[in-house]
């Protein structure tokens, strides 16, 4: 697709936020390296990465706490490096919420409006409306420490949204909550974001959260953007071994590529030639290059009889090392002797048969070439 120059520029103007070649260095250590991305108006973008990958740093730069070492950030098409935080109209929910302990919930929510010198009536109405929006109607007079974790969360969201900012930044605000509440709040985020249509950048290390809430995901590691895609694409066609490993549970096979033709690779592992495998969307692979083949735990099937895996191209024998019952599925650890004794993690959903293999049982594992992705190792980011 070829955009004309003018069209590209208007696309950039359409972007609520545009990060261009931003780096952030502390002494001789780069917390963010050459990050570039746009967030279109009204979209929900998640930056997903392990702890220490530079997510908070990037978010704080967008909010205006600190200047990038190099690069520029545009908000609504305008460069903002000279704009202090309080002049950027950005709502931010902090990792530790940062609610004001000496104020009530309502006073917290009213704070940004007070700072903007709205009149008392407007403030009262608006606070009421936003407390209602986060389902905290009637809790306004509570002190912060009198509220539960989930309620504090909602106050923080209401406070970040009440002044109708152009942009909402979320810095892992759900990390401290227990699983049930976290999943509930994820859906809540999604609902509120859809309802208000506010452009949102969310930061998390929780891949499930990234999948659930986002229109698009940016995967980060060591300050570098690894991949930007919608959740399904990031999951189905990871760009490199890091992304494949970080999102979902992935098994890796190591070996040299033997031949490459178009989008398919053949590669050898423990004397077996595995052919017809998809090339990961990362850098080009050449024959002879050492590679990693990635296959997800749920794309491997396990069975005792070969007939059950008749529709799968690759089949290898192995032995169950561990069997974990997780309720909705079984998780097996299978030692595949035929592939040089690699250990595979396999998710087995068997809602009808309820088959359960026991440790020590000999089984077959199988999968299809199209579900496997090969990445060149010397281009691997880690």
Ligand X SMILES: Nc1ncnc2c1ncn2[C@@H]1O[C@H](COP(=O)(O)OP(=O)(O)O)[C@@H](O)[C@H]1O
Site string for Mg ion, 50-69 (x = CB under 5 A): ------x-------------
Cα–Cα nearest to 17, from 38, 34, 32:
38
Hey, which residues does 164 pair with through a beta bridge? none
Q: Return the DSSP state at 159.
A: H
Nearer to ligand X, 43 or 55 (CB): 55
Q: What is the gyration radius of the CA atoms in the chain, in angstroms?
A: 25
Residue with structure tokens 């097996």? Answer: 332
Helix (H) / strand (E) element for 151: namely helix 149-161
Cβ 90 to other proteins, closest distance in Å? Answer: 6
Instruction: Return the one option of other proteins, Mg ion, ligand X, none that residue 154 interacts with (CB less than 5 to 8 A, by type).
Output: none
- Would you state the torsion angle of the CA atoms of residues 113, 119, 122, 126, taken in this order, to the nearest 10 degrees? 20
Nearer to Mg ion, 52 or 341 (CB): 52
Out of 37, 44, 74, 94, point to the residue binding other proteins (CB under 8 A): 94
Hey, which residues does 104 pair with through a beta bridge? 143
Rounded to whole angstroms, the Cα distance separating 275 from 365 reads 17
Out of 145, 263, 271, 360, point to the residue binding other proteins (CB under 8 A): 145
Nearer to other proteins, 8 or 116 (CB): 116
Cβ 243 to ligand X, closest distance in Å? Answer: 16
When CB distances to Mg ion are compared, the closest residue is 56
Cβ 207 to ligand X, closest distance in Å? Answer: 14
- Interaction with other proteins in 111-130: which residues (CB under 8 A)? 111-112, 115-116
Nearer to Mg ion, 136 or 224 (CB): 224
Token digits for 31?
């917390």
- Interaction with other proteins in 262-291: which residues (CB under 8 A)? none
Rounded to whole angstroms, the Cα distance separating 220 from 71 reads 18
Q: Rounded to a whole number, what is the largest CA-CA distance in the chain? A: 77
Residues forming contacts to ligand X in the complex (CB under 6 A) are: 26, 31, 49, 51-57
Hey, which residues does 48 pair with through a beta bridge? 204, 219
By DSSP bridging, strand 314-325 and strand 362-367 are antiparallel
Site membership for other proteins, residue 85 (CB under 8 A): yes
Nearer to ligand X, 26 or 325 (CB): 26
Cβ 216 to other proteins, closest distance in Å? Answer: 23
Cβ 65 to other proteins, closest distance in Å? Answer: 5
Site membership for Mg ion, residue 251 (CB under 5 A): no
Rounded to whole angstroms, the Cα distance separating 90 from 199 reads 10
Site membership for other proteins, residue 81 (CB under 8 A): no
Cβ 143 to other proteins, closest distance in Å? Answer: 8
Cβ(68)–Cβ(104) below 8 Å: no
Cβ(372)–Cβ(294) below 8 Å: yes
> Nearest 5°: CA angle at 296, between 241 and 359?
125
Contacts to other proteins by CB under 8 A: 60, 63-65, 84-86, 88, 90-92, 94-96, 98-102, 111-112, 115-116, 145, 159-160, 163
Contacts to Mg ion by CB under 5 A: 56
């Amino acid at each position: 697709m070829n955009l004309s120059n003018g069209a590209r520029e208007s696309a950039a103007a359409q972007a609520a936020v545009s990060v261009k070649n931003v780096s952030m260095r502390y002494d001789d250590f780069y917390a963010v390296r050459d990050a570039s991305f746009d967030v279109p108006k009204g979209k929900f973008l998640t930056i997903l990465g392990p702890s220490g990958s530079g997510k908070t740093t990037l978010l704080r730069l967008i909010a205006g706490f600190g200047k990038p070492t190099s690069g520029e950030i545009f908000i609504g098409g305008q460069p903002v490096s000279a704009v202090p935080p309080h002049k950027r109209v950005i709502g931010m929910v902090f990792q530790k919420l940062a609610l004001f302990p000496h104020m009530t919930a309502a006073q917290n929510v009213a704070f940004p409006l007070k700072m903007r010198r709205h009149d008392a009536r407007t403030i009262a109405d608006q606070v009421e409306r936003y407390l209602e929006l986060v389902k905290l109607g009637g809790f306004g007079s509570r002190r912060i420490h009198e509220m539960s974790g989930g309620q504090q969360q909602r106050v923080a969201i209401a406070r970040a949204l009440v002044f109708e900012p152009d942009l909402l930044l979320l810095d892992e605000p759900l990390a401290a909550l227990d699983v049930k509440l976290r999943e509930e709040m994820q859906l809540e985020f999604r609902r509120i974001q859809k309802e208000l249509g506010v452009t949102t950048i969310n930061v998390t290390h929780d891949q499930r959260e990234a999948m659930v809430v986002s229109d698009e995901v940016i995967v980060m590691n060591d300050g570098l953007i690894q991949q930007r895609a919608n959740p399904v694409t990031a999951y189905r066609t990871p760009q490199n071994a890091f992304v494949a490993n970080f999102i979902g549970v992935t098994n890796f096979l190591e070996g040299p590529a033997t031949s490459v033709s178009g989008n398919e690779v053949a590669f050898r592992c423990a004397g077996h030639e595995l052919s017809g495998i998809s090339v990961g969307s990362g850098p080009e692979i050449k024959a002879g290059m050492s590679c990693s083949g990635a296959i997800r735990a749920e794309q491997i099937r396990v069975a005792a009889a070969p007939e059950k895996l008749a529709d799968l191209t690759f089949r290898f024998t192995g032995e169950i090392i561990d069997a974990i019952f997780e309720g909705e599925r079984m998780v097996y650890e299978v030692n595949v002797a035929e592939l040089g004794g690699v250990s595979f993690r396999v998710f087995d959903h068997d809602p009808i048969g309820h088959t359960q293999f026991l440790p020590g049982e000999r089984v077959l594992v199988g999968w299809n070439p199209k579900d496997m992705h090969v990445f060149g190792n010397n281009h691997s980011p880690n």
